[in-house]
Structure 1
Amino acid sequence: MPAPLHFSSPGAAWSVRDPAELALRIRLQAVRMVAPQGFGYLGQALSAAEQVAAVFAAARPGRDRLVCSPGHYVIAPFAAATALGLLTEEAAATYGRNGSAIEAIGTERSPVVDYTCGSLGQGLSAAAGFALSDRLRGADRRTYALVSDGELEEGQLWEAAIFAAHHRLASLTVLLDANNSQVDGPVDTITTLEPIAGKWTAFGWHAVDLDGHDVEAVLAALRAAEADDRPRVLVCRTSTGHGLDCLPDDADGHFIKLPPELAEAAEAELTAKLEAHRA
């Protein structure tokens, strides 16, 4: 079955009966996508799995939008789309290969998501633009934007946050993956971001601070956002190693190395967890 080009494409269809199972499948699929290269952005899928699973569970297929601001996080929507049949296994197997549209860092040609960025900090601007455009056209759509905590170091993100709050773009919800990880090391050793929720509140947003690995809590917060009269941000506290116990303690969460023996152990662990969850 041909995959729809984007999350909001007319004709896009999927169903999520068990968001917790989908999060496990996202992790397993991400391991399979990274394993052939032996390294990649696996940590981003591990930290964002529940957030992406909750978005697919909450969104209306073919209507609502998904923006993935940090381009390297696109592995998680790709993995979810593969698990749900929106992206073929064959396409997912080309992840990160030269010439493939399933790129390791998302671009303007990336399928599944409605918008993604190479440079960090720009996705919220696009998401706010979508939300304002939908209001002006009277379109009944919600926009979900996946943002990373490292992007809070970018000034453009805060300009977009001010804009969205000023226009009370209530159809916009941000999932902020606060995993305290970036290429230079732990985020809090580079820049002090706390209190994160307090900053968004001061900018006029409805901010919720929660466990980003509690998929039911994330889903409940997404559904509650539908009644808001202003934009909402979910500050999701996560870890780049969550759900994969076989990773070494010193694994670089930003760009995990996955040699064959570790990839085999990771697949076996996640397969067992998935089978146990289904039992």
Structure 2
Amino acid sequence: MSALDTGTAVGTDAAVDLARRIRLHAVRMVTPHGFGYLGQALSSAEQLAVLHTHWFRQGVDRFVCSPGHYVIAAYAVAREAGELTDTQLGEYGQDGADLEAIGTETSPAVDLTCGSLAQGLSGAAGFALADRLRGLEGSRRTFVLVSDGEMQEGQTWEAALFAGHHRLRDVVVLLDANDSQVDGPVSSITTIDPLVDKWASFGWYAEEVDGHDTAALRAALGRAIEDERPGVVVARTSTVHGLACLPEDADGHFIKLPAELAARALAELEDGDA
């Protein structure tokens, strides 16, 4: 995945517009199917937009997408960066297509995605430790997108403990806390809070922000990057954010998008291109 701008200052409005376009591409990808992992793109759009507008260095940094179904948002960013085509996005999730609905080791647009949940942070810690052993520590960062559902997985906390112990400061986590998983709200299934306190107790810089506030995200990511510890930004989000046409009770994990609703969603998001 590439940065959309490197070496120059970009205003927060650029991230806002990129977030809208991430949502637009995601709607276009799921429309032919009538359902899909749209909610994951809606909740993480600002996080990826801020990351790639302000912090991600093309050809230098790594991007790990731990929850494989979030790869739809990574594809959208890659399209904006010119790494993927509209044709490829149009074939998303179809048999034999380049772009799987759930990312695998062959998926483009990311340095690592694992399909199964909770493995991404382990991979990121491995990247950072390998850089240290090669004398490359501090030369590039490994950004990891993690879901709050993965906080129920033991492997996530083992990796967090490892990275904190070894002070792998080049690892920066964006934790999309959208309170949604296939079985229902995360908070109704397992109590995972207080997340900031837990990560901090494992030796991480940890901060919580409104995950749809681009200015807050930019500032928090900056603090996490500058700290001497690995960093995590807990982003509180919604799986229906940015699309007013969606019903409030839409199943955020796997949103149904019949033709009439898809048309309304596209019109709403395409209005920003006028």
What TM-score bracket applies, with the shorter chain setting the length?
A: over 0.9
Distance across 1 between alignment mates of 2:26 and 2:135:
37
**1:202-234 superposed Cα distances (whole Å, 9 cap, x missing partner):** 111110000000112212222223321100100
Distance across 1 between alignment mates of 2:50 and 2:131:
22
Residue of structure 1 equivalent to 2:193: 194
Secondary structure of residue in 2 paired with 1:67: strand
Matches of residues 53-64 of structure 1 in structure 2 within 5 Å?
53-57=49-53, 58-64=55-61
**1:179-223 superposed Cα distances (whole Å, 9 cap, x missing partner):** 000000000110001111111011111100000001122122222
Residue 92 of structure 1 pairs with residue 89 of structure 2: yes
Shift of 1:13: 6.3
Residue of structure 2 equivalent to 1:145: 144
AA aligned opposite 2:190: T
Distance across 1 between alignment mates of 2:273 and 2:28:
17
Residue of structure 2 equivalent to 1:235: 234
Residue of structure 2 equivalent to 1:19: 15
Paired positions, count: 265
Residue of structure 1 equivalent to 2:103: 106
Distance across 2 between alignment mates of 1:178 and 1:271:
27
Contact 2:3–2:52 under 8 Å retained in 1 = no
Distance across 1 between alignment mates of 2:115 and 2:251:
21
Distance across 2 between alignment mates of 1:225 and 1:194:
20
Shift of 1:100: 1.1
Distance across 1 between alignment mates of 2:169 and 2:111:
19
Unaligned stretches of 5+ in structure 2? none
Let me know the Cα RMSD of the aligned residues: 1.3
Residue 65 of structure 1 pairs with residue 47 of structure 2: no
Distance across 2 between alignment mates of 1:31 and 1:71:
18
Distance across 1 between alignment mates of 2:168 and 2:152:
23
Shift of 1:101: 2.1
Shift of 1:125: 0.1
Residue of structure 2 equivalent to 1:3: none
Distance across 2 between alignment mates of 1:63 and 1:56:
12
Unaligned stretches of 5+ in structure 1? 1-6
Shift of 1:43: 0.1
